Structure 1
Amino acid sequence: MDISRRDFFKVAGSTVIGAAAYSIAGGFGSALAQAPVVGSTQITNGIQSVGSKAKVYFTKHIDAAHLIKLYDLINEGIYGKVAIKLHTGEKNGPNIIPRDMAKAFWQHVPNSSIVETNTLYKGDRYTTEGHKETLKVNGWTFCPVDIMDEYGNVMLPVRGGRHFKEMSLGKNIVNYDAMVVLTHFKGHAMGGYGGSMKNIAIGCADAKIGKKMVHGVPLDKELDEAWDVVYKQDMLMETMAESAKATIDYFGKHIVFLNVMRRMSVDCDCAGTSAAEPTIPDIGILASTDILAIDQASVDLVYASPHNKDLVERIESRHGLHQLAAMHDLKMGNDKYELISID
């Protein structure tokens, strides 16, 4: 990673409030190229297709050994100080990624820390103090957990954004050389589903500014004061994509994605103990250097799964598939992929 770039963003990292947070830009730009991986047989939907295809690796085994095996296939660009972005959940949430699996993974990634940000809604992680207590309750005590917006925000560019030309993220994001996006794939009350894109779109945005930008909440209001002005569904999918693009543009080839498809409630881990019991069977783990490909593959596996009615209804009722269209329009990745089983 270019040190001068990182130092620049550190200098630019003071809190910014006002009209700049809602700046508009037109047109689309190219995302930074993703790290190459070794190819295999095209089996997506059983159809041969013309043109380039992203590689998405898959296992039906949901455990630490297979998670690490998948990661080792895609981690060529991961070195230096590494951020592991995962959703640590509200207190006692029943569906979050198992701590023993996350611990074994963290131990496998040198010089790494879990990273999070505070929430826009008033829950267990609304304040840094409450967030730290929640981390203890949920067992995230085996490694450093960096609440990236504890000391403010940093504005990073959104290359080619239609709604934003920059996004407000947790200030400490610029302290890292690489990021591993370790996602519990599940449903979501507003997004329809939460995959890799949602994990960084909301999870890297700071609570005071960035999350308000994504949701369309005026900076002088709280979420519960602004439900009448929160973005409609398609707009929300687009602003989430642009927020995520700020993160993937910043890390370039030094970001990879893992989706863990287990205990897929229709509700996000932000619902805590009130999350609905999953009705769809566990599917497995996916890994890719391409954010669009991995979320597209995850959605396809949900649609191909038996007993998927509840999760599909949640996705479609919230226009969740527009997440994929928004990422495609922003050239964030490839929706054509090879699903490569390692089993």
Structure 2
Amino acid sequence: MGSVSKVYFTRTITPEQVVKMFDTLGKKLDGKVAVKVHSGEDGNQNFLRPEFWRPMVEHVNGTVVECNTAYDGARNNSEKHKKLIKKHGWNDFFVVDLMDEEGPDVELPIAHANHLKSDIVGKNLLNYDSMLVLSHFKGHPMGGYGGALKQLSIGCASTAGKVNIHSGGKLTKTDDQAIVWDNHAEQNAFLESMAEAASAVVDHFHGNMVFINVMKNLSVDCDCCAVAEDPCMQDVGILISTDPVAIDRACLDLIYKSDDPGKDHFLERVQTRNGEHTVDAAAEMGYGVKEYELINVD
């Protein structure tokens, strides 16, 4: 990883522009390509629809991948999640691989972790040679914001993996192996655990990754919220990079530099959760840098 990463940026938000940005980046994704998306919680109005992502997914001949959640809702087991994926139209265009639909989960090693012993992911992750991470950049009730690092960590983790991250590595199971979410880590430990889990996925793919963040429907709430607040800012644009740390840092900086009156509300969500600490922790682990060159694309 160099001392400065390239992040490409455009203010034009269309499905076709996403593809143009990918081609501008010029990074080839080899082999079988996993395309990580957020399928959207039932009732959420802000998630990016499959129609928006379709040209990009088809451009890399990718397989859409998702994982089950760890909270009550329409996505916390495979049967319900697959029904919602169909309801939201993902199956109209793609075969969707629910990576933790069937166990056993696999554990990815983490180098120099302070909280997690490993990152627990669905076993189907091992079926892919590269990954395209498609992130809807927005706020988040617990992490402060959601972008590439959250997609890598919480997004790629199985149900057990999500609980492991939220608990700061203190995942417990009952005698019948049921997952118990009975504790939540101190906030910074949780954010650092996200950074650690993200590092495991990056290391697993050995650089065969591309990250796209779309700054659209900028709500303070995540796409995992069934009842989400409406967007508080105007759309900003699309960013793409091979560095998950730089791209998230660039998105946050664009919020700070914006003259949109809704930015204070958005930043209040980020700052009260100390969300930028995830970026700092990831940079300290060395799989990305906070310094970047923002390259504008028409």
- For this structure pair, what is the TM-score category when the shorter chain's length is used for normalisation? over 0.9
Q: 1:243 aligns with which of 179, 193, 197?
A: 197
Contact 2:171-2:180 within 8 A present in 1 as well: no
Question: Does residue 99 of structure 1 match 2:53?
Answer: no
Question: Does residue 130 of structure 1 match 2:130?
Answer: no
Cα deviations by residue, 1:288-336 (Å, 9 ceiling, x for unpaired)? 0001100000000111122201110000010101011111111121111
Question: Does residue 161 of structure 1 match 2:113?
Answer: yes
In the alignment, structure 1 segments of 5+ residues that lack a partner are 1-32, 35-51
Distance 2:286 2:278 in 1: 12
Change (3 A) 1:74 1:161: farther
Between the aligned residues of both structures, percent identity stands at: 42
Change (3 A) 1:213 1:327: same
Distance 2:279 2:273 in 1: 13
Distance 1:247 1:77 in 2: 18
Structure 2 residue aligned with 1:147: 98
Distance 2:41 2:88 in 1: 8
Offset of residue 218 of structure 1: 3.5
Q: 1:315 aligns with which of 270, 289, 297?
A: 270
* Structure with bigger gyration radius: 1
Offset of residue 223 of structure 1: 8.5
What is the root-mean-square deviation in Å for CA atoms of aligned residues? 1.6
**For 1:57-206, what aligned pairs fall within 5 Å after superposition?**
57-110=8-61, 112-141=62-91, 142-152=93-103, 153-206=105-158
Question: Does residue 332 of structure 1 match 2:284?
Answer: no
Read off the aligned partner of 2:289 and give its amino acid letter.
N
Read off the aligned partner of 2:286 and give its amino acid letter.
K
Offset of residue 286 of structure 1: 0.1
Q: In the comparison of the two structures, how many residue pairs are matched?
A: 289
Q: 1:278 aligns with which of 208, 228, 231?
A: 231
Structure 1 residue aligned with 2:251: 298
Residue range with higher mean Cα deviation, 150-159 or 117-126: 150-159
1:340 match: secondary structure: strand
Runs of 4+ aligned structure 1 residues displaced above 4 Å come to 221-225
Distance 1:138 1:254 in 2: 29
Read off the aligned partner of 1:279 and give its amino acid letter.
C
Which TM-score applies when normalising by structure 2?
Answer: 0.93
2:225 match: secondary structure: helix
1:333 match: secondary structure: coil
Change (3 A) 1:293 1:301: same
Contact 1:77-1:253 within 8 A present in 2 as well: no
Change (3 A) 1:92 1:331: same
Distance 1:183 1:299 in 2: 14
Contact 1:159-1:165 within 8 A present in 2 as well: no
Which TM-score applies when normalising by structure 1?
Answer: 0.81
Distance 1:225 1:191 in 2: 17
2:239 match: secondary structure: strand
Distance 1:174 1:164 in 2: 20
2:172 match: secondary structure: coil
2:46 match: secondary structure: coil
Cα deviations by residue, 1:3-45 (Å, 9 ceiling, x for unpaired)? xxxxxxxxxxxxxxxxxxxxxxxxxxxxxx58xxxxxxxxxxx
